[in-house]
Structure 1
Amino acid sequence: MSAVKVIAVSSGKGGVGKTNVSVNLACQLARRGRRVLLMDADLGLANVDIMLGLRPKWNLSHVLDGKCAIQDILVPGPVGITIIPAASGVQKMADLGTDQHAAIVRSLSELKDDYDVLIVDTAAGISDSVVTFCRASQYVMVVVTDELTSMADAYALIKVMNRDAGIRRFKVLRNMVDSHDQARDGFERLNEVAQRFLDVSLEFAGFIPRDPYLIKADSRQMAVSDLYPGAESSLAFRKLAETVDKWEGPSGPSGNIEFFVDRMFSADSAENTAAGVEM
């Protein structure tokens, strides 16, 4: 398997366009010739398949139940991306423990196809699954709008990730803004607070403008970059893909999807060791 770049796309609150970002970033990276695997990691409230109008027969809940292998649930998406669907409205998936999250991640190492990028569309907020998947990823990109609640919850997410998962570096994507200046200003305000109170490093990843074509694409259950490639938001997603493409790939010993697995289990091992010392 070739080296794979693992990116967790997260947000402090729902409704900020996180899944839209994940899907359109995946599509634009695919247009650049990258082999993209998009994992819906909002395990109990899956929406990648809904956004794209897909109706997968199997999903991650069936893998955990032992009814099928992860290869059996892969769904082709637009522009040649591959999607790992999660369950929607399944309470037990929302309540999974760390061991079950780890089982999902370990199953990824069974995939036979080569991928260049794994995008993990996490749930919104600071649940255990969000912490687990972000900790295992190489990059964490936080999506934040100009709403005060979005800014406050993004800060809370970064604080929890830093405290509970030891993550110190975050990419920040500003979404649904009216201009580059507005995007930078919001980032600087968030960065100023983070620098004052947290031991973290924030990097401005770019911005996606407010765009009526994005809403039109959503209503047709298609990615805007697929339906309206010349739209302002599509061009912004293309620029974001160019930026992401320049981020370095993994330097872990395995150099493939197992890097994601290795990150998770090395972190779990460290936690268990620390707990043993305390006892």
Structure 2
Amino acid sequence: MIENMLQDQASGLRRLTKPSLTKVIAVTGGKGGVGKTNVTLGLAISMARQGKKVLVLDADLGLANVDVMLGIRARRNLGHVLAGECTLQEAIVEGPHGIRVIPATSGTQSMTELTPQQHAGLIRAFGSLEEDMDVLLIDTAAGISDMVVSFARAAQDVVVVVCDEPTSITDAYALIKLLSREHHVQRFKVVANMVRSYREGRELFAKLTLVTERFLNVTLELVACVPLDDKVRQSVKRQKIVVDAYPRSPAALAISSLANKALTWPIPKAPSGHLEFFVERLLNNREIVGESYVE
């Protein structure tokens, strides 16, 4: 019975991550305040404008803000899904330009400390999701929690957003180190955010590569330099995303360009982790199987 249930979940996740169907991108940053949610939602709206079906997962399970930034009032969220009060499909809400959003819970500490059973419940929810999408964007939490690592491992591409602050560089390095040494993620795409010039962005990237090349066996690629732009702050106040509120502003143009580039990133032909990793973890984790499925 357990085997059949896990096979059903695997089938659902394969359907979700079918190479011809869905591109899975995790946007992370190591620390808060680097602008990763703005980047994630900017990518989503820019891709949707090109006719892509985009789903955004707010994976900051304790301090969710995707719905707030979009000015969306969500009646259900991942907390309700985990409590069994609704399905994942029922928690999805529509945002600007037709993007679809799975909101998380804000101000609930228990959501940051999921038990193995709850983690498995979230996995089961993804297994039953039948949303038609071209791109799944995962906006992770700050830090290097188990959930951040899980979602980063689940993606085909990991985008690390970093700004020119010592703590941002240090925390980004810590996240890359953890993912590479303990979870065999070797390739990272870097966004230098809130920089005053392209040169400053290159210098920021150089600071990060200086330490990674010395101590880690990873490949970093600078995929965008997003300028410091007051229009971003103004759009946040309006509960809009800069690519929507001020599409010709420097930050909006940089994020739109990144979206164009991201749509060309190749999708692995074989399942090398992404969302099917969740099922692999279930199959390999006796504790989860024992506690969650054997009554």
| TM-score, normalised relative to structure 1 | 0.91
Q: 1:193: Cα distance to partner?
A: 1.1
Is 234-243 or 156-165 further displaced after alignment?
156-165
Unaligned runs of 5+ in 1: 274-279
Residue 150 of structure 1 is matched in structure 2 by 168
Structure 2 counterpart SS, 1:205: strand
Shift of 1:262: 1.2
Q: Tell me, yes or no, if structure 1 residue 80 matches structure 2 residue 98.
A: yes
CA deviation vs aligned residue, 1:127-171 (integer Å, no higher than 9, x gap): 111011111111111100001110111111111111232211111
Cα distance in 2, alignment partners of residues 209 and 118 from structure 1:
25
**Is residue 2:45 matched to residue 1:27?**
yes
Structure 2 unaligned blocks of 5 or more: 1-14, 288-295
Query: How far off is 1:272 after superposition?
Result: 6.1
- Counterpart residue number, 1:134: 152
1:7 aligns to what? 25
98-107 vs 220-229, greater mean Cα deviation: 98-107
Give yes or no for contact 1:155–1:194 (8 Å, CA) kept in 2. Answer: yes
1:42 partnered with 2:60: yes
Task: Answer yes or no: is the 8 Å Cα contact 2:153–2:274 preserved in 1.
Answer: no
Equivalence for 1:93: 111
- Percent identity, please: 49
Specify the SS of the correspondent of 2:275: helix
Matched residue SS, 1:140:
strand
Tell me the residue number matched to 1:116: 134
What residue in structure 1 maps to residue 197 of structure 2?
A: 179
- Does the CA contact (< 8 Å) of 1:6 and 1:119 recur in 2? yes
In structure 1, the partner of 2:277 is 263
| Preserved CA contact (<8 Å) 2:36 2:139 | yes
- Structure 1 SS opposite 2:220: strand
Q: Is the CA contact (8 Å cut-off) linking 1:98 and 1:129 kept in structure 2?
A: no
Paired residues of 2:173 and 2:208 also in contact (CA < 8 A):
yes
Partner Cα distance (1:164, 1:106) in 2: 25
Q: Give per-residue Cα distances to partners, 1:188-242, cap 9 Å, x unaligned.
A: 2211210110111111111111111111000111111111111111111110001
Cα 1:188–1:271, aligned 2, differ >3 Å: closer, same or farther? Answer: farther
Give the partner amino acid of 2:279: F
CA contact (8 A) 1:106 1:261 kept: no
State which of 51, 59, 78 in structure 1 corresponds to 2:69: 51
TM-score, normalising length: structure 2: 0.86
| 1:191 counterpart SS class | helix
Sort the Cα spacing of 1:151 and 1:208 in 2 relative to 1 into closer, same or farther, 3 A: same
The answer to whether 1:210 aligns with 2:228 is yes
Once structures 1 and 2 are overlaid, which stretch shifts more, 159-168 or 67-76?
Answer: 159-168
CA apart distance, 1:66: 0.6
Alignment match of 1:169 (pick from 187, 198, 211): 187
Between the aligned partners of 1:260 and 1:13, the Cα distance in structure 2 is: 23
Matched, 1:235 2:253: yes
Give the letter aligned to residue 215 of structure 1: R
CA RMSD between the two structures:
1.9
Contact 1:3 1:250 in 2 (8 A): no
Q: How many residue pairs end up in the alignment?
A: 269
State the distance in 2 between where 1:188 and 1:253 align: 32
Contact persistence 2:159–2:190 (CA under 8 A):
yes
